Amino acid sequence: MRRPIKKRPAVSADERYKSESVSRLINYVMIRGQKETSRKIVYAAFEEIKNAKEGGGDPLTVFETAIQNAGPQMEVRSRRVGGANYQVPREVRPERRLALAFRWIITAARGQKGVPMHKALAQEIMMAAREEGAAVKKKEDTHKMAEANRAFAHFAW
């Protein structure tokens, strides 16, 4: 029997944008419990988005669009059937879709060497909003893998 889904505590909205998703982004950026540092990084990134010449505008709408564009609809999960492992395509739950989008955007931003984190994060969010960048490419690769393994969909549990 499957274990029940955890009841996670609700994340309170951040003070500047009054958004729960921005508060979750701050938590995802945070390393070693340094929340104030991650808050400064996220707010500086949003200022970069606001002041950007191309792809800028309201940082909250750009951020929401980026999260929508970077979150996968399908993914593959490993399933063992009769001594063989199959990659079975499955639909992604909304909470996991949001978590993967945050993770992929932040990982792509951290991968840019020689660029301050707030600039890299702003750049990655703007690219994801335009359906470009490493996070969107990762989503497309995940979708391609799910499409390639569609023959094993009948093994879904």
pLDDT digits (tens, 9 = 90+) for 125-152: 999 999 999 999 999 998 898 888 777 7
Tally of CB atoms within 10 A around 38: 20
| 153 assigned to some structural domain | no
| 129 assigned to some structural domain | yes
Q: Could you tell me how many residues make up the chain?
A: 157
Q: Which positions ≥6 away from 143 have C-beta within 8 Å? A: 72, 73, 74
| 44 assigned to some structural domain | yes
Q: Calculate what percentage of the chain has a pLDDT beyond 90.
A: 61
| 25 assigned to some structural domain | yes
Please, are residues 46 and 62 in contact by the beta-carbon 8 Å criterion?
no
| 131 assigned to some structural domain | yes
Please, are residues 105 and 22 in contact by the beta-carbon 8 Å criterion?
no
pLDDT band at 55 (very low <50, low <70, confident <90, very high): low
Q: Where are the alpha helices (DSSP H) in the chain?
A: 20-29, 35-51, 59-70, 94-110, 117-129, 133-148
Taking only the tens place, the pLDDT of each residue in 67-122 is 999 999 988 888 888 888 887 888 889 999 999 999 999 999 999 999 999 999 99
Please, are residues 149 and 76 in contact by the beta-carbon 8 Å criterion?
yes
Q: State which residues form the domain around 54.
A: 20-76+94-140
| 89 assigned to some structural domain | no
| 123 assigned to some structural domain | yes
| 24 assigned to some structural domain | yes
Q: Calculate what percentage of the chain has a pLDDT beyond 70.
A: 97
Instruction: Name the average pLDDT for the chain.
Output: 89
Please, are residues 103 and 92 in contact by the beta-carbon 8 Å criterion?
no
User: 59: domain CATH number?
Assistant: 1.10.455.10
Count of domains observed in the chain: 1
Average the pLDDT over 31-58 and give the result. Answer: 90
Average the pLDDT over 39-52 and give the result. Answer: 93
Q: Which range is least confidently modeled, 18-27, 29-38, 50-59?
A: 50-59
Handedness of CA 131, 101, 36, 9 (dihedral sign): positive
